[in-house]
């Protein structure tokens, strides 16, 4: 039976603490209210939660920094994150706001953009270091933040940079040399922007050398052009996300660390390229084939793949459930889809699944030709 507010704390005591302006009273009041929010056994109603959120919002400005920091940690660790309160704390002094800005899972893009526009550079830096920076938030940072924050954003592999943001950063890298290396290291830098950067960096280097040394321009042009082309080729080959993911998955497999848990964790953390690469390496198929299986709105091929690599039943069900959640926005599935998929998984023999896998391991062009011949015969 859910406890009532009066069962968990003396309301008169709360009122007395709220009227007391001493630090000790404010600390005790905060602790009392946080205790109401966090333990699951209390099960506050929406009305009680709204009331407590309102009380804390009014008190925050008068609480000591240490108390507000404690409140932040309690909210980030607790089962009831109170988004409205976290939004208020995200606009607090950086000593309080930093943990919220870096670690909160409930702040919306607009909350973060508001902080970018209104708060200090330290707040922007905390946002740039988040594990997930959306394209909209990244654009706000690029437009508003200083060089230190922008460099941190560029170096953050979990930041999503739109084409517009990339173009602005490439243009800015002419003024700020330190943007160049991390930009060229990003797997998502569009090839044409990479080419543009390589060539104007090369042109700037040519101008620098010719102004300081008596060297035949023709020889310098040949050397610089050769170096730029090698850099462009390296960018095309080495900086593709799928190739990075495949190299990592292959290395993990060599170390016996490409486990079922790792593959599921990659999907849960939305590291889709690593998830696809992990399946590809375990199944000994190429990335493109694995990607086609994972991105197929149906799950038949995915069921075959999971069975072929001997994925345990509970792990397979967990992976299929995670995939279903990720697809709900683009390819919603009926509630019974997972049950049907697992019934197919249970019926399928590993030997039969692996015979299909052998076909998937063939060259894609060869497989296409086989399918065309089979279609013609029918």
Please indicate, yes or no, if residue 265 is contained in any of the structural domains: yes
Identify how many contiguous H helices and E strands the chain contains and give both numbers. 24, 0
Which of 81, 107, 133 finishes a domain? Answer: 107
Please indicate, yes or no, if residue 121 is contained in any of the structural domains: no
Please indicate, yes or no, if residue 302 is contained in any of the structural domains: yes
Structural domain for 43, as ranges? 1-107
62 contacts: CB under 8 Å, gap ≥ 6:
21, 26
Could you tell me which residue, 32 or 289, shows the higher pLDDT?
289
Average pLDDT for the chain: 80
Q: Please give the sequence-ordered ranges of beta strands (E in DSSP) within 39-119, or none if there are none.
A: none
Distance CA 131, CA 246 (A): 22
Token pair of 127 as six digits:
């946002």
Domain count for the chain: 2
- Write the pLDDT tens digit of every residue in 229-270: 666 665 555 456 677 888 889 999 999 999 999 999 999 988
- Write the pLDDT tens digit of every residue in 154-167: 999 888 898 889 98
Share of the chain above pLDDT 70, in %: 76
Describe the chain by its helix, strand, coil percentages, rounded to 5. 75, 0, 25
Q: What is the pLDDT of residue 235?
A: 57
Longest dimension (CA), the chain: 88
Please indicate, yes or no, if residue 160 is contained in any of the structural domains: no
Please indicate, yes or no, if residue 200 is contained in any of the structural domains: no
Please indicate, yes or no, if residue 119 is contained in any of the structural domains: no
Could you tell me which residue, 46 or 330, shows the higher pLDDT?
46
pTM attached to this predicted model: 0.54
- Write the pLDDT tens digit of every residue in 275-308: 999 999 999 998 888 988 988 878 899 999 999 9
Please indicate, yes or no, if residue 44 is contained in any of the structural domains: yes
Q: What is the pLDDT of residue 227?
A: 67
pLDDT band per the 50, 70, 90 thresholds, residue 376: low
73 contacts: CB under 8 Å, gap ≥ 6:
99
Could you tell me which residue, 140 or 329, shows the higher pLDDT?
140
Instruction: Read off the pLDDT of each residue in 110-125 and give the average, rounded to a whole number.
Output: 94
Q: Does residue 216 surpass a pLDDT of 70? A: yes
Which of 107, 129, 156 finishes a domain? Answer: 107
- Write the pLDDT tens digit of every residue in 322-360: 988 876 554 556 768 888 999 999 999 999 999 999 888
Distance CA 51, CA 29 (A): 14
Q: Does residue 370 surpass a pLDDT of 80? A: no
Which of 57, 86, 107 finishes a domain? Answer: 107
Please indicate, yes or no, if residue 209 is contained in any of the structural domains: no
């Amino acid at each position: 039976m859910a406890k009532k507010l009066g069962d968990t704390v003396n309301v008169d005591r709360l009122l007395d603490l709220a009227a007391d302006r001493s630090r000790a009273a404010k600390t005790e009041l905060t602790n009392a209210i946080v205790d109401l929010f966090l333990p699951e056994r209390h099960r506050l109603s929406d009305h009680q939660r709204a009331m407590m959120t309102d009380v804390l919002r009014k008190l925050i400005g008068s609480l000591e920094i240490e108390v507000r920091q404690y409140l932040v940690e309690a909210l980030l660790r607790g089962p009831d994150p109170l988004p409205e309160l976290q939004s208020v704390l995200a606009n607090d002094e950086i000593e309080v706001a930093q943990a919220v800005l870096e670690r909160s899972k409930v702040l919306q893009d607009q909350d973060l953009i508001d902080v970018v526009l209104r708060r200090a550079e330290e707040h922007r830096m905390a946002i740039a270091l988040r594990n997930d920076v959306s394209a909209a938030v990244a654009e706000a940072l690029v437009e508003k933040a200083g060089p230190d924050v922008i460099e941190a954003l560029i170096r953050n592999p979990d930041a999503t940079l739109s084409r517009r943001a990339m173009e602005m950063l490439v243009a800015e890298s002419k003024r700020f040399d330190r943007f160049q290396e991390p930009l060229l290291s990003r797997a998502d830098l569009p090839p044409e922007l990479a080419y543009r950067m390589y060539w104007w960096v090369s042109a700037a280097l040519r101008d620098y050398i010719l102004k300081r040394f008596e060297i035949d321009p023709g020889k310098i042009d040949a050397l610089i052009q050769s170096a730029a082309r090698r850099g462009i080729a390296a960018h095309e080959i080495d900086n593709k996300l799928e190739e990075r993911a495949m190299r990592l998955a292959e290395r993990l497999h060599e170390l016996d660390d490409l486990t079922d848990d790792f593959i599921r964790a990659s999907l849960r953390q939305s590291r889709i390229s690593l998830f696809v690469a992990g399946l590809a390496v375990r199944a000994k198929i190429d990335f493109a084939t694995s990607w086609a299986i994972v991105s197929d709105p149906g799950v038949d091929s995915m069921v075959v793949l999971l069975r072929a690599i001997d994925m345990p039943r509970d792990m397979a069900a967990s992976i299929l459930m995670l995939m279903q959640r990720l697809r709900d926005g683009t390819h919603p599935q009926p509630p019974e889809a997972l049950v049907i998929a697992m019934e197919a998984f249970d019926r399928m023999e590993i030997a039969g699944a692996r015979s299909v896998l052998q076909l998937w391991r063939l060259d894609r062009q060869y497989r296409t030709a086989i399918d065309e011949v089979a279609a013609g015969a029918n």
